[in-house]
Structures are given as structure tokens and as C-alpha cells.
Amino acid sequence: MKISIYTAVLGAAMTLVACSGPSGKNENNETTSTVKAAPRDRSGALELTQQQMKNVGIEVGPITLKNLDAVIKASGQLAVPPQNKADVSLLSGGMISHINVLEGQEVHKGQVLATVNNQELIKIEQDYLAAKNNFTYVAAEYDRQNQLQAAGAGTGRSYQSATATYKAEQARLHAFESQLRQLGVSPEKISSGSIVSSFPLLSPITGTVGKIAANTGAYVQPGTSVMEVVDNSKIHCDLIVFEKDLMAVKMGQKVDFQLTNQQNMVITGRINGINKSFENESKGVVVHAEIDNRQHQNLIPGMYVTALISTGAKMTPALPADAVVRTAGRQFIFLMTGQNGDRYTFKKVEVGTGVSELGYVAIQPITELSPGTKAVTKGAFYLESKLSGSDEED
């Protein structure tokens, strides 16, 4: 009897141990799974108490309408008008015997830039002298026939022939003189017996010597550009304005230029020309703006610029400049999305920005905001720092 009771108790104990082992393991697993932290909200939301906001100086206010200048953003390049840029080329081919200037040198109109040898010039001078001598004889015969005609002793046919010959030789002589002057050779000097085999290459405008495309001793064909001269005093800007903004651009509007590769230096100007045709590649219209360069900045054609064209003041949503934080080339503001007692929630949203004036910056929300929306007007940098710190901890 005792043996059977002991056996029953032992069996019950073994059964209890067998049942309790697996169940205890399951409980431990369930406990481990419940201590995992919930994933953090990465939507850009933050929650602060009223005391926290007071401690760091965070202020909240509505997005108000301000009377700010509306602007159109455009990009382009600096350029000079065609009349302020000249290619120095040859009317008659020849070999360059001497170059008198260097690239970047300032020159004035009519200055000798180079000297060109041309053997054909000698023949032109010979033809000029022959035409001049022949014209002397023709002019004398014309005067004689003119006197006879006045006295009634000559014939009309002889007078007409002398007149026609006189005018033809006079035109021929003037043509040779014009040809010599275009080559930079004085006809009066040739008439005195000074035959030359070279002619000077003169600067057509006052400006700065650009790239020199020929060397001493090189033979240059007629019409070939030897060098260029650029007058940067009339430099202007060619901006590309797209069709959606074109109607707002008018003559005389103020433009603020920012030189992209010159430490963002800012200069001003005004619109002085609007093209009437679209560019094929960009599908935009070229707008010309004169530059106010009273400080004589070293502006060079080809420099890239970013411009803001002021199209007039208008009421636009705006916030204080401290309300906008910039990170990774984008702009953000913090909106107040809710209040529960003394706890406030904020959400970071991306916006576009416009003109800055009187401490305010125009904002252009990417998504539409509901009326009466409030935003952080001061202390946005603290919220951005807190949000960035939370992401780093994660």
C-alpha cells in the first residue's frame, strides 16, 4: 500500500516537471518580445512642453501676409553688345611681320596692333600712281573742252567725251585711294614717292585685346580674324526667362545679379531689352539687362549669374527670417499641429522661399496649408537641432 502511494506521488511530480518546463520557456520568450521599443516617428514631428518652449525662447505665430516685392528667378551669362566686340581681320592676305600687343592689353581705336607684309600692295600703289598721272592729263583736257564750250568754239561731241572720261578716271582714282586707306596706307604718302610693302593692322574700337590667333611670320588669308578686341564698359547680362514668367517681365524693372563663381558677389541692373522669339533649346526668351558697375568690378563676358527680377510689390505669405531653417540645400519651417494642455506638437515641412525684405522672407508651401495655421516664428533652429539629434541617436 505504501509502495503504490509513493509511486503515484512520484509520477505526479514527474508529470508536473514535464509540463512546467516548456511553459516556462514560452513565458520567457513572450516577455522578451514585449520589451522591444516601438519604432520612432520619423515624419518630422516633435513635442515640447510650454516650459521647454519658454526656456529656449520658442515663439509661435500665424503666417501673415506681407507687402513684399515679387521676384522672378532667372539665370544667364554676362555678354557685350555686338558693337562693343570686334574681330580684327585682314582685307588683303599677307604675312604678319610684327605683333605690337599682348592679350589683355588695353588699346584705343586706331592703334596699330600688328604689321602685315603684302607684295600685292606694291601693285596697288603702282596702279594708283598711274591712275593719278592719267587723271592729271584727263582733267586738263576736260578743262580745255569746258573753256571751248563756254566760248562756243568747241563741239558738243568732244565736250561730252571729255566729260565722260574725266568722271570715269576720277572714280577710278577715288577707288584706289579708298582701297589704300582701308589698308591703312596714306595716298598722300604714296603720291610723294614713298612706296611701302606693308600695311598696319589697326584696332577698330577701344577696348582690351582678347585671344590672338596668329603668330609672327604666319601667312593670314583675307577675312581671317587675327585677334579680337572687347570693350567691357558696356557689359550686360543675357537672362533666360521662361514662358510662365514672361508676362510679368517689363522694361526698366530692377534686377539683382549674383555672380555664381565670384563668392556670390551681388550687383544691380535694370531690364533694357526683351527678345520676341523663343530659344530653341531652352524654350525661354532672352531678356537683356544693363549692369550698374559703378564700382568697376572685374566683369568678364561669359560669367554665369543668377538673377532676381523685381516685378512689383504684392501681398504674399511671409515669416520672419529666423523661422526658416536650411539643410541639404532645402528650406523648412515648423508648423504647430496640436496642443494638449501645456504640451505642443510641431511638424517640419518643406517650403520654397522668395524675396527677403525688412527681416521677413516670402514662403511658398509645397503643400497647401489650412487657414489659421501657426508656425514657429523664433527658435526654429533649436527644433531642427533637436530633431537632428534624435535621428542620430536612432
Taking CA atoms, 14 is separated from 21, 33, 120, 183, 242, in Å, by 11, 30, 128, 124, 88
- Which grid cell is 336? 504647430
Distance between CA atoms of residues 141 and 134, nearest Å: 11
pLDDT recorded at residue 295: 66
Q: In the prediction, which pLDDT does 174 show? A: 92
303-361 residue pLDDT tens: 888 888 888 777 888 898 889 998 888 889 999 988 888 899 999 999 988 777 767 88
Give pLDDT < 70 ranges for the chain: 1-44, 154, 260-264, 294-296, 358, 390-394
Domain extent listing, the chain: 45-67+315-393, 73-82+231-313, 88-230
Q: By C-alpha distance, which of 338, 336, 260, 295 is closest to 60?
A: 336
Residues counted in the chain: 394
Bridge partners, 317 (sequence order): 65
Q: What is the pLDDT of residue 224?
A: 87
Contact between residue 220 and residue 116 where contact means Cβ atoms under 8 Å apart: yes
- CATH fold for the domain made of 88-230: OB fold (Dihydrolipoamide Acetyltransferase, E2P) (2.40.50)
Residues 45-67+315-393, CATH architecture:
Beta Barrel (2.40)
pLDDT of residue 22: 42
* pLDDT given at position 209: 94
Write down the architecture of domain 73-82+231-313 according to CATH.
Beta Barrel (2.40)
Per-residue model confidence as pLDDT tens digits over 117-136: 988 888 888 889 999 999 98
Tell me how far CA of residue 1 lies from CA of 11, 13, 83, 150, 214, in angstroms.
16, 19, 130, 180, 129
Residue with cell 588683303: 92
